[in-house]
Amino acid sequence: MKHLIDAKELSPEYVERLIASAEDIISAPGSYSDRCRGRILATLFYEPSTRTRLSFESAMLGLGGQTLGFSSADSSSASKGESVADTIRMVSCYADICAMRHPKEGSALVASMHSGIPVINAGDGGHQHPTQTLTDLMTIHSVKKKLDGLSVGLCGDLRFGRTVHSLIHALSKHKNNSFILVSPDELKIPDYLREEMIKGGVRFTETEDLKQSIKEMDVIYMTRVQKERFFNEEDYVRLKDSYILNRQKLSQAKKDLAVMHPLPRVNEISTEVDDDPRSVYFDQARYGRFVRMALILDLLS
């Protein structure tokens, strides 16, 4: 049985195949409207979500299937103490495929080990978010027409940002990519990830200076400082406005820079940037639906 738990599973060949499938769905949606008729997607969201949960549900509905699930732990038997392993065993009786978001790292892997249906990791704590990565890769491919030879800036919360961790893993497998990691010292990438990058020969630099480093980037991936990952609210308040991308900073960037954000944003991208043709973060949300359609079809095949 196939699952998608970790962005490390996303080989360049697999990514290219899913992107091609998603592009075909965009061009001929009617050809796919009955592909999952009679199939059910379970969305098990122990954490709040807008884009990821709704895009999964929209994807399944667009394929002619149905959805069921819950949108918070409080509305599930987790509030009574039921384990992830027991929950997925029960859900396997009612659905054909599952997308799960959970605040604890490794929860999706645990679910896959006890599941009778394919499990998709829709985000596990500060660890991984592989379907957001597929969305990001499709967005980059649509703008740059390639996934290699890029200078990719990652800015903001790189310590807890699971979308950042997943994107680094995925883009590192494509040739000649380099990373510019922009963050305050407290929010740098985790040590384990830095060690993996060094061991794998991945080219990267770390800096606290967005104004200067943005000049070198082909892609900039902004992230919010995540309040829910902090134990100390004073630390959150001190760091939450560390980097704000505005029109003035963007004026220093390349004319074909792609400005990305997994959303939701707080104020790390000024609304004055929304109308800049280089801003593609709302396109990311649209691509998310189609690439998840392609993934569902692949895992159910």
Q: What CATH number does the domain containing 124 carry?
A: 3.40.50.1370
Answer yes or no: do 113 and 156 share one domain: no
Q: Does 2 fall in a domain?
A: no
Of the candidates 3, 127, 129, 289, the residue annotated as catalytic is: 129
> Is 129 annotated in the active site?
yes
DSSP output for the chain: ---B--GGG--HHHHHHHHHHHHHHHH-GGGGTTTTTT-EEEEEESS--SHHHHHHHHHHHHTT-EEEEESSGGGSGGGGT--HHHHHHHHTTT-SEEEEEESSTTHHHHHHHH-SS-EEEEEETTTB-HHHHHHHHHHHHHHHS-SSS-EEEEES-TTT-HHHHHHHHHHTTSTT-EEEEE--GGGSPPHHHHHHHHHTT-EEEEES-HHHHGGG-SEEEE----GGG-S-HHHHHHHTTS--B-HHHHTTS-TTPEEE--S--SSSB-GGGTTSTTB-HHHHHHHHHHHHHHHHHHHH-
Of the candidates 80, 145, 199, 255, the residue annotated as catalytic is: 80
Question: In the predicted model, is pLDDT for residue 246 greater than 60?
Answer: yes
Answer yes or no: do 119 and 230 share one domain: no
Mean pLDDT, residues 120-136: 89
Answer yes or no: do 150 and 257 share one domain: yes
Of the candidates 51, 194, 229, 249, the residue annotated as catalytic is: 51
Q: Give the amino acid at 5.
A: I
Residue 14's pLDDT is 96
Answer yes or no: do 142 and 167 share one domain: yes
DSSP output for 133-185: HHHHHHHHHHHHS-SSS-EEEEES-TTT-HHHHHHHHHHTTSTT-EEEEE--G
> Is 80 annotated in the active site?
yes
Q: Does 67 fall in a domain?
A: yes
Which structural domain, as residue segments, surrounds residue 115? 7-129+285-300
106 against 80, higher pLDDT: 106
Mean pLDDT taken over the chain? 91
The residues with which 245 forms a beta bridge, in sequence order, are 269
> Is 51 annotated in the active site?
yes
Of the candidates 52, 131, 163, 223, the residue annotated as catalytic is: 52
CA 82 – CA 299 distance, rounded (Å): 27
Answer yes or no: do 170 and 266 share one domain: yes
Answer yes or no: do 97 and 135 share one domain: no
Q: How many structural domains is the chain composed of?
A: 2
Answer yes or no: do 104 and 177 share one domain: no
CA 286 – CA 298 distance, rounded (Å): 19
**Chain centroid offset of residue 54 CA:** 14
Answer yes or no: do 94 and 139 share one domain: no
Q: Does 102 fall in a domain?
A: yes
Answer yes or no: do 141 and 97 share one domain: no
Mean pLDDT, residues 93-104: 95
Residue 214's pLDDT is 96
Q: Does 1 fall in a domain?
A: no
Res. 236 pLDDT band, cuts 50 70 90: low
Answer yes or no: do 166 and 279 share one domain: yes
Mean pLDDT, residues 30-44: 97
Question: In the predicted model, is pLDDT for residue 243 greater than 60?
Answer: yes
Mean pLDDT, residues 221-244: 65
Answer yes or no: do 213 and 114 share one domain: no
Residue 127's pLDDT is 74
Answer yes or no: do 46 and 108 share one domain: yes
156 against 37, higher pLDDT: 37
> Is 52 annotated in the active site?
yes
Of the candidates 53, 101, 162, 169, the residue annotated as catalytic is: 101
Q: What is the pTM of this model?
A: 0.90
Mean pLDDT, residues 249-255: 94
